[in-house]
Amino acid sequence: MYTNIMIPVDLAHVADLGKALDTGADLARHYGARICYVGVTAATPSAVAHNPAEFQQKLESFATEQGVKHGITTMAKAAISHDPAVDLDSTLLKTADEIGADLIVVASHIPGLKEYIWPSNGGALAGHATASVFVVRL
Amino acid sequence: MTDETTAPGIPEPEGASAIIDTEYNIGQDNVEGQVGPFGFDIHNPVFMISSLSIAFFVFYALVFRDQASDFFTGVDAAAVAGCEAGAFCDLGLRSFLTSNFDWFFLSAANVFVLFCLLLIVTPLGAVRLGGTDATPDYTYIGWFAMLFAAGMGIGLMFFGVLEPVYYFGTPWGDQPLGAVRPFAEDGTLIEANIEEARRMALAATIFHWGLHPWAIYAVVALSLALFSYNKGLPLTIRSAFYPIFGERVWGWTGHIIDTLAVFATLFGLATSLGFGAQQANAGLEYVYGIPNNTTVQVLLITAITAIALVSVVRGLDGGVKVLSEINMVIAALLLLFVLFAAGALGILSGFFGGLLAYAQEIVPLSNPVGREDTGYVQGWTAFYWAWWISWSPFVGMFIARVSRGRTVREFVICVLLIPSLVCILWMATFGGAAIEQVINDPAGSAVKAQVIDSYNPPISLFAMLEGLPWSAITSTIGIVLVIVFFVTSSDSGSLVIDTITAGGKVDAPLPQRVFWCTFEGAVAIVLLLGGGLGALQAMVISTGLPFTIILLLMCWAIFKGLQDERRKI
């Protein structure tokens, strides 16, 4: 049913993603799908990487590691955004179309008061993506 | 963070570049957490120190208002026992600095211009920001609109008419280079002096808005862009000092540099916001008769901050960039209107005349020693240089943020030469049209009444527009432009302060930017209501002196950094 699963990852907070990563991997095994891990970064140095090339490199080794751990086919895609604090959702949506994802598995915290002002990333993806979206609560 | 960070070395960005391998991880000193529903991610000492000291200084400026004002702007020496004319107590910190260190400000600014011109012609100019294969993030138009709006937009509105007319007819004896006055003692025109006075007025104005200020911005912007895009250091002011202080920039040395930058940016913005509200209000009163009082001004600041907040939430591409482009279109329309309404031929010849006069007079005007026109050098030039320098962390950092992918040569040409040309055109148009009005009808000219007969700076632009057709419409456009330029400054300022106080992280949670934007507006309102705007602005300008030294060090750091890049290519 699904061939191309996208999982947005924040390399600075990988520890929080365990459940979503496992869910995605289980689905990938079940459907024989490939997972593409997508990370969004600015061109300026960040906590994760000194430049976009290093970011891509780290994302790739993360994807390889996940592939070995779960026995699935994986790839990595780094998306560059001018202002990730604001453009994260739109960058993820654009990337989902670019890589032709048919399912997005995204981790999302339990919504609270803040979501009345700013929707969560998971919520925004579910609201606008053309692909199916599986929102995994942390 | 995962463990595979121990890969051998840091990969180069796009193409060759000389990475600086430091033990410091961006964000290692940051504190992450939640306040209510909102997350934050701030640099530990810098955020706390800067926000607390800002609160402290606002408190100081309010509670000890007179003392602060005396210290920064001076007292009336004649009325105070024990204070001699020309002593520190008479001048205040600001004038003390501009009158005793004018030679230093002028020399330093000359160094920056020469340094930038050298970068254009030497092979160092071939270095590309972001690595040899990097591609520009923004088109020329979008890039140019942003650097211009952040750099000086609002100043052009305020000084475009004021400054040329002031130099043309000043009765206060501070003519640039001691130029002739076109008015006799009884106020009649002296035909023979008009041409020379006009020429000097344009040259002296262009001098303050041409190569020198943009060279100051270019130095700061270039050092930030180079050290973050090519060398992998965080996008914050301290990174430019890595070649000088080494690993110490991550400690207190760096904390102090960053805190100073936040300080200058926030107070610069807040005081400008206050004065901008006063100018917009003066315009509204002049054109529409809306009362000129603090209530209206507080409403204006609130409205400006509210629009800025919308823009902040829309981010760099959806907010600042769009606003900057709107600014550029409106400003271009106003410029074209004045150009044609006041006689395009005359003004265009004024433009080339101004350009020629600037070229002829730039050397004597920038001469730092042995000047006799102290009113001009100390009251205007040294003040301007200190002002541009204290604004440079803000504007420079913003320019750096949007300039990845340009070569150093392209960068310097576009940041130095093109904005200078636009400023010259602007000054020649607005100043030229205003001077023309003064010459044609000295008695009936509103500009002369507001600038020379009584000194009323915020009105000058509207007084000039009054002398042209459709003044109700164009003045309204002028007011809108003042407001939109302020929104842009407030927005890009929040972006810059947030990045510095997040230790160079550009992806810190959005509520932080909202906090800084609101804080700016709040500081402006408090100072407007309680007084103290003038004292604080004087204080911001006083930070120009330490920053001048910082900028001179930056030139050296850029030179070293670019040499390393050249070796890698």
Q: What is the mean pLDDT of residues B337-357?
A: 86
Does a structural domain hold residue B82?
no
Does a structural domain hold residue B150?
yes
Whole-complex ipTM: 0.85
Percent of chain A with pLDDT over 70: 93
Q: What is the CATH number of the domain that holds B127?
A: 1.20.1740
Give the pLDDT band of residue B309 (cuts 50, 70, 90).
very high
> Which segment, A8-17, A90-99, A102-111, B1-10, is predicted with the most confidence on average?
A90-99
Query: Tokens 């990969």, residue?
Result: B11
State the CB neighbour count (10 A cutoff) for residue B495. 26
Burial grade of B64 (CB within 10 A; 0-12, 13-18, 19 or more): middle
Q: What is the mean pLDDT of residues A60-85?
A: 92
Q: What is the pLDDT of residues B136-148, one digit of tens each?
A: 888 888 888 887 7
Q: Quick check: B9 pLDDT over 70?
A: no
Does a structural domain hold residue B311?
yes
Does a structural domain hold residue A61?
yes
Which DSSP letter does residue B31 get?
A: E
Contact state of A46 with B26 under an 8 Å Cβ cutoff: yes
Q: What is the pLDDT of residues B19-70, one digit of tens each?
A: 877 777 777 788 787 776 677 888 888 888 888 888 888 888 778 877 777 8
Q: What is the CATH number of the domain that holds A77?
A: 3.40.50.620
Helix B533-542 / helix B44-63 crossing angle, nearest 10 deg: 130
Q: What is the mean pLDDT of residues B404-430?
A: 90
Does a structural domain hold residue B202?
yes
Domains contained in chain A, number: 1
Does a structural domain hold residue B413?
yes
Taking only Cα atoms into account, the Rg of chain A, rounded to an integer number of angstroms, comes to 14
Q: What is the pLDDT of residues B186-220, one digit of tens each?
A: 778 888 888 888 889 999 999 999 999 999 999 99
| Residues from chain B contacting residue A86 (CB–CB below 8 Å) | 313-316, 318, 510
Domains contained in chain B, number: 1
The pLDDT score that the predictor gives to residue B217 is 93
Does a structural domain hold residue A20?
yes
Give, in order, the Cα–Cα distances in Å from B170 to each of A78, B164, B254, B469.
Answer: 60, 10, 45, 27
Q: How many CA atoms lie within 13 A of B119 on its CB side?
A: 32
Nearest-Cα distance to chain B for A107, in Å, is: 17
| Residues from chain B contacting residue A44 (CB–CB below 8 Å) | 228-229, 234-235, 401, 504, 506
Least confident of B9-23, B445-459, B474-488: B9-23
Does a structural domain hold residue B10?
no
The pLDDT score that the predictor gives to residue A132 is 93
- B318 vs A: CB within 8 A: yes
Does a structural domain hold residue B102?
yes
Which DSSP letter does residue B331 get?
A: H
Structure token pair of residue B415: 């940041």
Give CB contacts under 8 A, 24+ apart, made by B240-243: B240/B554, B240/B557, B240/B558, B241/B553, B241/B554, B241/B557, B242/B20, B242/B22, B242/B557, B243/B556, B243/B557, B243/B560, B243/B561
Please enumerate in sequence order all residues whose Cβ is within 8 A of that of B191, keeping only pairs 6 or more positions apart, or say none: none
* Higher pLDDT pick, B236 / B536: B236
| Residues from chain B contacting residue A8 (CB–CB below 8 Å) | none
Helix (H, G, I), strand (E, B) or coil at B71: helix
Does a structural domain hold residue A39?
yes
Contact B287, B462 (CB under 8 A): yes
Q: Quick check: B128 pLDDT over 50?
A: yes
H or E element, residue B282: helix B252-288
Task: Give me the residue from B5, B11, B26 closest to A45, CB to CB.
Answer: B26
Nearest-Cα distance to chain A for B548, in Å, is: 26
Mutation for testing the B interface, residue in A41, A51, A113 having most B CBs under 10 Å: A51
| Residues from chain A contacting residue B506 (CB–CB below 8 Å) | 42, 44, 46, 83-85
Does a structural domain hold residue B16?
no
With helix as H, strand as E and coil as C, how does B87-154 read? CHHHHHHHHHHHHHCHHHHHHHHHHHHHHHHHHHHCHHHHCECCCCCCCCCCCHHHHHHHHHHHHCHH
The amino acid occupying position B188 is T
H or E element, residue B479: helix B471-501
CA-nearest residue to B22 within chain A is A50
Residues of A with CB under 8 A from a CB of B: 11-12, 14, 41-48, 50-54, 57-58, 61-62, 65, 82-87, 112-114, 118
- Concatenate the DSSP letters of all residues of B150-216 into one string: HHTHHHHHHHTTHHHHHHHH-SSS--GGGPPPSB-TTS-B-HHHHHHHHHHHHHHHHHHHSHHHHHH
Where in the sequence is the domain holding A83, given as residue range(s)? 4-107+126-132
The pLDDT score that the predictor gives to residue B443 is 83
Q: Quick check: B5 pLDDT over 60?
A: no
Rounded distance, CA A85 to CA B38, Å?
13
Residues shown for chain A: 138
Query: Tokens 């020309």, residue?
Result: B86
Rounded distance, CA B569 to CA B565, Å?
7
Does a structural domain hold residue A60?
yes
| Residues from chain B contacting residue A114 (CB–CB below 8 Å) | 37-38
Query: CA nearest B257: which of B556, B561, B558, B546?
Result: B546
Structure token pair of residue B162: 């004021």
The pLDDT score that the predictor gives to residue B2 is 40
Give Dmax over CA atoms of chain B in angstroms: 82
Please enumerate in sequence order all residues whose Cβ is within 8 A of that of B306, keeping only pairs 6 or more positions apart, or say none: none
- Concatenate the DSSP letters of all residues of A57-86 into one string: HHHHHHHHHHHHHHT--EEEEEEE-S-HHH
Where in the sequence is the domain holding B133, given as residue range(s)? 29-75+89-568
The pLDDT score that the predictor gives to residue A112 is 67
Least confident of A107-121, B383-397, B514-528: A107-121
Q: What is the mean pLDDT of residues B376-395?
A: 87
Nearest-Cα distance to chain B for A76, in Å, is: 15
Contact A64, A102 (CB under 8 A): no
Helix B418-440 / helix B211-225 crossing angle, nearest 10 deg: 160
- Residue B464 CA, distance from chain mean position: 24
Contact B396, B221 (CB under 8 A): yes
The pLDDT score that the predictor gives to residue A102 is 93
The pLDDT score that the predictor gives to residue B163 is 92
Does a structural domain hold residue A69?
yes
User: What is the average pLDDT value for chain B, to the nearest integer?
Assistant: 86
Query: CA nearest B162: which of B478, B474, B484, B447?
Result: B447
Q: What is the pLDDT of residues A97-128, one digit of tens each?
A: 999 999 999 988 777 666 666 667 888 888 89
Least confident of A71-75, B6-10, B375-379, B427-431: B6-10
The pLDDT score that the predictor gives to residue B7 is 43
The pLDDT score that the predictor gives to residue B3 is 40
Does a structural domain hold residue A117?
no
The pLDDT score that the predictor gives to residue B216 is 94
Q: How many CA atoms lie within 13 A of B489 on its CB side?
A: 29
Contact state of B510 with A51 under an 8 Å Cβ cutoff: no
